[in-house]
Amino acid sequence: MRDAVVLVPAAGRGERLGPGAPKALRSLAGEPLLVHAVRRLVASQSVAQVVVAAPPQARDDVLHLLAPVIAPPALTVVPGGQTRQASVAAALAVVPDDIDIVLVHDAARALVPVELVDRVAAAVRAGHDAVIPVLPVVDTVKRVDAHGYVTGTVDRAPLRAVQTPQGFRHQVLRRAYHEVGESEQGQVTDDAGLVERLGIRVYTVPGSPHAMKITHPSDLQVAESLLTGVAG
Ligand code: CTP
Ligand code: MG
């Protein structure tokens, strides 16, 4: 059932990846990260439309790069903002009112499995207002003070690392973005964090190692291994 719109924040510079093009336009196995990500999103039977928040100067490039995968009117490209939150807000602003399910997916999570997209959308369709994919935290986690001394060990059993796509009832995400003050910009690192502030319960589904976020140069190598089946 193609009943969801996916917002794809893709306007980041990719500073941790080092000098070069904006991260979403960097190449992985010969194709930009954004193309990998959107191809996977569109392969989901849940996805009806895609809204990309692009680097402001790259709108035409993005339309051109995505042409083999998706084109207007199913694709909309809007200029992104200074923060991820601003980019998502810009994309959310063009979602038609009659859409019930909105997913938000980082272009940097280029290898997201189609099944994960379906799982998140299905959980929203089943009645959850907000749904996030998570993985258990495998490392031991400690609190460290400003001087580098350990002040405690955190029980990791209830901890989860959070991925995208995150899925929302459209009106819930609208309200979350509407109610976030300018002063709070950037303090919440994912979309579900804004929804939590409304007192709305967020449901978790199993994430995937393939939905890893490409952040540092070594992540590109890991992603390439996942793509060619050498790892994962
Ligand atoms: N993003 C965005 N607009 C911004 C900042 C980030 O749309 N102003 C997007 C990125 O393109 C990415 C996702 O949000 O798909 C997650 O952000 P991150 O991994 O931090 O990417 P960058 O901000 O590009 O990387 P860095 O923080 O290293 O500069
Ligand atoms: Mg960033």
Residue 109 CA: nearest ligand 1 atom is 15
Say how far apart CA 177 and CA 191 lie, in whole Å: 9
d(CA 10, CA 104): 11
Residue pLDDT, tens place only, 69-124? 999 999 999 999 999 999 999 999 999 999 999 999 999 999 999 999 999 999 99
pTM: 0.96
Nearest atom within ligand 1 for CA of residue 214:
19
List of domains in the chain:
4-134+161-227 (3.90.550.10)
Using an 8 Å Cβ cutoff, are 167 and 204 in contact? no
CA 126 to ligand 1 center in whole angstroms: 30
Q: Determine the Cα–Cα distance for residues 212 and 162; give it in Å rounded to an integer.
A: 10
> What is the CA angle 130-131-132, rounded to 5?
130
Q: How does pLDDT run across 3-47, given as a tens digit for each residue?
A: 999 999 999 999 999 999 999 999 999 999 999 999 999 999 999
Is any atom of ligand 1 closer than 6 Å to the C-beta of 208? Answer: no
- Quick check: CB of 107 below 6 Å from ligand 1? yes
DSSP count for the chain of H helices, then E strands: 7, 12
Residue 185 has pLDDT above 70, yes or no: no
